[in-house]
Amino acid sequence: MKADHCADLHGLRFDFHCHSRASDGSLSPSELVARAADAGVCELALTDHDTLAGQAEAAQAAASQGVRLVSGIELSVSWDNRELHMVALGFASAHPAMQQLVAQQQQARQQRAERIGAKLDRAANMTGSYQQAVLLSDQQAPGRPWFARVLVAAGKARDEQHAFNRFLKPGQSAFVATPWVAVADAVSAVRQAGGVAVLAHPLRYGFTRRKLRRFLDQFVAAGGQALEVLTPGLNAQQQALLQECLRDFPLYASGGSDFHSPQQSWLELGRIPRPGNEMPMIQALLA
Ligand code: AMP
Ligand code: MN
Ligand code: MN
Ligand code: MN
């Protein structure tokens, strides 16, 4: 039991947004939990993209490391013809509404992955890029970062970023638009399963202030309860906008690093801004 300091509730270190190899991260769920414990994290949610495959291993590792694990997932959702990310926390993983939602998302991901592979075979002059991504990821529905790694290994891109820019981003030759679940339906499933719906990284969508507020009106009406406010790398103006949203909407603050890999040397699990004293914290909903 490493995390003795977790008994002290004041200034407790947490991370409610990170990824393992069960989606597009590079550590196994147990490696990730061990790294979180080493980094002094007391409360952790593993939020892999549209899958719960890493949750059981993470829960076992968390129990042995003295970390409190909250169930988690990062859902790709659609709203107003855009793709947004919604983190869900503290739901019952076995609830049928959750199981059905994840199955539907996995099916969409698998069809998308097969189509990305077919497009890459043509656009990048590859053979079997879908199968290569399956092998590399050990998943039937590999996300785009796995295709980026396949492209880099094949010498078709300098690095993952270049692979995204050249082939995988919207507008590029191997991009495939995907029918993700509507945000209101995703929120409804998460709430039925007793969980909390969080808008992930609100400032990564290119929203104007007005558009963000329009989204939040609808998100709250649908049952959304939290906003990811404590994330690394925001400037003062961005933090002020999120504070304003917390003030004007009935939303709690969540936070997380969005850690994917130790190679992202500028990120660490649990290394997020401290909550302000007056901030309504998501822990109140997870108790
Ligand atoms: P997917 O879930 O298959 O759509 O892949 C999305 C993931 O790819 C994100 O969670 C990031 O980890 C990564 N990603 C998205 N856009 C980019 C980009 N432009 N450059 C590098 N990585 C990206
Ligand atoms: Mn990712
Ligand atoms: Mn995301
Ligand atoms: Mn993420």
Alpha-carbon distances of 240 from 107, 193, 227, 274, rounded to whole Å: 39, 32, 13, 15
Structure tokens at 52: 């719960």
Instruction: Tell the burial category of 78 from Cβ atoms under 10 Å away from its Cβ (0-12, 13-18, 19+).
Output: middle
Q: Ligand 1: does its nearest atom lie under 6 Å from the Cβ of 49? A: yes
Residue with the smallest CA separation from ligand 1 atom 11 is 145
Which residues, 6+ apart, have CB-to-CB distance to 240 below 8 Å? none
Which contiguous run of DSSP H or E holds residue 244? helix 236-248
53 neighbors 103 (Cβ within 8 angstroms): no
CA-CA distance, 56 to 72, in Å (whole number)? 11
pLDDT tens profile 246-281: 999 999 999 999 999 999 999 999 999 999 888 999
In angstroms, what is the span from residue 144 Cα to ligand 1's centroid? 6
Task: Provide the CB-side half-sphere exposure for 229 (13 A, CA).
Answer: 25
CA-CA distance, 251 to 103, in Å (whole number)? 28
204 neighbors 230 (Cβ within 8 angstroms): no
Q: What pLDDT score was predicted for residue 12?
A: 85
Q: Ligand 1: does its nearest atom lie under 6 Å from the Cβ of 169? A: yes
In angstroms, what is the span from residue 84 Cα to ligand 4's centroid? 11
Q: Ligand 1: does its nearest atom lie under 6 Å from the Cβ of 260? A: yes
In angstroms, what is the span from residue 268 Cα to ligand 4's centroid? 13
CA-CA distance, 72 to 146, in Å (whole number)? 21
In angstroms, what is the span from residue 15 Cα to ligand 2's centroid? 15
Residue with the smallest CA separation from ligand 1 atom 2 is 143
Render each residue's pLDDT in the chain as its tens digit; 287 residues.
Answer: 445 567 655 568 999 999 999 999 999 999 999 999 999 999 999 999 999 999 999 999 999 999 999 999 999 999 999 999 999 999 999 999 999 999 999 999 999 999 999 999 999 999 999 999 999 999 999 999 999 999 999 999 999 999 999 999 999 999 999 999 999 999 999 999 999 999 999 999 999 999 999 999 999 999 999 999 999 999 999 999 999 999 999 999 999 999 999 999 999 999 999 998 889 999 999 98
Tell me which of 19, 47, 50, 144 to substitute to probe ligand 1's pocket, judged by most ligand atoms within 8 Å of the beta carbon.
144
| Residue position matching structure tokens 């949610």 | 45
User: Does pTM top 0.95 for this prediction?
Assistant: yes
Tell me which of 18, 19, 24 to substitute to probe ligand 1's pocket, judged by most ligand atoms within 8 Å of the beta carbon.
24
Q: Ligand 1: does its nearest atom lie under 6 Å from the Cβ of 166? A: no
Q: What pLDDT score was predicted for residue 1?
A: 45
Which residues, 6+ apart, have CB-to-CB distance to 91 below 8 Å? 71, 73, 98, 190, 193, 194, 195, 196
DSSP character at residue 163:
H
Structure tokens at 39: 């980094």
Residue with the smallest CA separation from ligand 1 atom 22 is 161
CA-CA distance, 25 to 17, in Å (whole number)? 12
Q: What pLDDT score was predicted for residue 9?
A: 55
Residue with the smallest CA separation from ligand 1 atom 21 is 161
Q: What pLDDT score was predicted for residue 45?
A: 98
| Residue position matching structure tokens 């991009």 | 175
Q: What is the CA radius of gyration of the chain?
A: 19
